[in-house]
Amino acid sequence: MTVEDVRIFDTTLRDGEQAAGVNLNLTEKLQVAHQLARLRVDIIEAGFPAASPGDFQSVQTIAREVPGLTVAGLARTRKGDIEAAFEALKDAGRPRIHTFIATSPIHREFKLKMSREEVLEQVRTGVEHARSLVEDVEFSAEDASRSEPDFLAEVFRTAVEHGATTLNIPDTVGYATPEEFGAFVEALIREVAAPKNVAWSVHCHNDLGMAVANSLAAVRMGVRQVECTVNGLGERAGNASMEEIVMALQTRTDRYGARSRVDTTKLYGTSKLVSRLTGVRVPPNKAIVGDNAFAHEAGIHQHGMLCNRTTYEIMRPEDVGAPGTALVLGKHSGRHAFRDRLEALGYHLDEDQIDKAFGLFKDLCDRKKTVSDGDIEALVADEVVSALPERRYDLVDFGVQVSSGRATASITLRRDGQEITDAAAGNGPVDAAYEAIKRIVGLEPELREFRIHATSEQSDSVGETVVVLRHEGVNAQGRGASTDVIESAIKAYVSAVNRLHVVAAAKEVNLYGTDSR
């Protein structure tokens, strides 16, 4: 199969900047332009020089400073716009004037207030003037997809006769559908019968979410330039997304028989740069560059991915420069992925321990939006690995009440199958809970250490508590973990009391002195 080249015409700095609320300064535009050059796009549309002195200066600076690609500037078919574009572009290695006029009956009647003949006259004079200034002239028929096919063909023939070297078919308002647009483009190319050295291009908007599909349908019909923007940024719902076009051509060359020259490993970085500079967030589920584009949460998918990546990934994250595949542990995950993560964290548990840890993990998932590695480690270390097989006391229930700084706590522990409840007041809920526990266990150990820390940055993070107690010369450490920090502190204290008994028994120390409880 012969694979043809598709030129990528990036209009992030022109149509992309037309997105409501986006305004890039010269330094920011230069950053984006240099990155687009590194990405190896073929053409950058740097702006609309007649729009403002700032736009003129950005186009001029990019034309002078960004090497290795064609720099285009947009212009209405008016003489003044075309001359402004030329002045801004003339120092570029490869300047292109991109001139346009609307051709649809709606735009002719309501916006331009021009007849067909007047529009044709604008095409003649505009294109001819642009061609007298530069070799490379692109002509766009704005709102082409809602224009009468016979008139549109006449417009494009006129543009070719007066020197246009690229003919662009915009779906300006994102009205087309893929099958319709493909057929429309095919018929137009046939009807105009432009010479081989004239390139056909499309420029699709995303009002119905079909900009990429429409652009690709046109590629199937022989179009060899696609106009697009990074992250699909642009007027209203945006333009065709460049990363999606590029990766669709690369991943499905079998279908399109064409590819771009873009260095796909720079797509992710470019997306991040544009998002940061424009302030337009990339949705997590955005194809190719979204944070979740290579993240798998469902257990069945994670199992498949662990067996073979190609079960659920059609591209490799490294191909687009993304950080990597992520098996995100959450409530939809299964044992395979959980076990794999535990091993990666350095834990080697037997089947019973994994069952216990998995149960605790699923409980945590029901309470917490995302479960971090730190949360899992806290659970596994405190509740599985370090948990004593035989415990003197188990926490059954607790309740705390806080009012004006004073707190009371009620604690129920189980010992030898019997539940024992007691309550106490204290200076805060943890102090009150510890007093109540001391009453139940009949010990007054010294609290040597009390530390609590969050295992991640979220407010629903697991809190992990470490408590060190000393009694009758015996030291014991206890740990507890829970999304409820009071519960975590209570669990740590109970765990430390249980250890005191284990260590005291090993050292043959009676924790109760003469009392034999």
Site residues (CB under 6 A) for ligand KIV?
15, 100, 140, 142, 168, 170, 172, 203, 205
Residues paired with residue 374 on neighbouring β-strands, in sequence order: none
205 among the known binding-site residues? Answer: yes
Q: Which residue's Cβ lies closest to ligand KIV? A: 170
Cβ at position 13, least distance to ligand ACO in Å: 12
| One residue of 29, 76, 162, 479 binding ligand ACO per CB under 6 A | 76
Nearest to 491 by CA among 360, 317, 348: 360
Q: Is 162 in the site for ligand ACO (CB under 6 A)?
A: no
Nearer to ligand KIV, 100 or 434 (CB): 100
φ, ψ of residue 460 in degrees (nearest 5)? -100, 25
Site track for ligand ACO across 12-31, x = CB under 6 A: ---x--x-------------
Q: Which is nearer to ligand ACO, 147 or 172 (CB)?
A: 172
Nearest CA to 79 out of 27, 39, 128, 38 is that of 128
Kind of pairing, strands 70-76 and 43-47?
A: parallel
Of 9, 56, 86, 100, the one binding ligand ACO by CB under 6 A: 100
Q: By CB under 6 A, which span of 44-52, 225-233, 243-251, 312-320 interacts with ligand ACO? A: 44-52
Decide which of ligand KIV, ligand ACO, none touches 140; Cβ closer than 5 to 8 Å per partner kind. Answer: ligand KIV
The encoded tokens of residue 486 equal 């009071």
15 known ligand binder:
yes
How far apart CA 454 and CA 449 sit, in angstroms, is: 17
d(C-alpha 479, C-alpha 435), whole Å:
18
Q: What are phi and psi of 472, to 5 degrees?
A: 50, 40
Q: Give the residue with the Cβ less far from ligand KIV, 162 or 479.
A: 162
Positive or negative: CA dihedral 40, 211, 274, 247: negative
Distance from C-alpha of 203 to C-alpha of 212, rounded to nearest angstrom: 10
Is 98 known to sit in a ligand binding site? Answer: no
Give the nearer residue to ligand KIV in terms of CB position, either 239 or 495: 239
Give phi and psi for 21, each to the nearest 5: 90, -5
> Which residues 228-247 are close enough to bind ligand ACO by CB under 6 A?
235
Between residue 119 and residue 148, which ones bind ligand ACO under the rule CB under 6 A? 122, 142
Listed in sequence order, the residues at least 6 apart from 482 whose beta carbon sits closer than 8 Å to its beta carbon are 462, 463, 488, 491
Site for ligand ACO in 172-191 (CB under 6 A): 172
Neighbours of 137 (CB within 10 A): 26
What span, in angstroms and rounded, lies between the C-alpha atoms of 495 and 490? 9
Query: For helices 79-89 and 53-65, what crossing angle results, to 10°?
Result: 40
Q: Which of 26, 112, 349, 503 binds ligand ACO (CB under 6 A)?
A: 112
Residue 203 interface partner, choices ligand ACO, ligand KIV, none, CB cut-off 5-8 Å depending on type: ligand KIV
Q: Per DSSP, what are the bridge partners of residue 285?
A: none
CA 354 from chain centre, in angstroms, equals 32
Shortest Cβ distance from residue 228 to ligand KIV (Å)?
12
How near is the Cβ of 320 to ligand ACO at its closest, in Å? 28
**Which residues contact ligand ACO (rule: CB under 6 A)?**
15, 18, 48, 50-52, 76-78, 100-101, 111-112, 122, 142, 172, 235
Q: Which residues are annotated as a binding site?
A: 15, 203, 205, 239
Q: Which residues are annotated as a binding site for Mn(2+)?
A: 15, 203, 205, 239
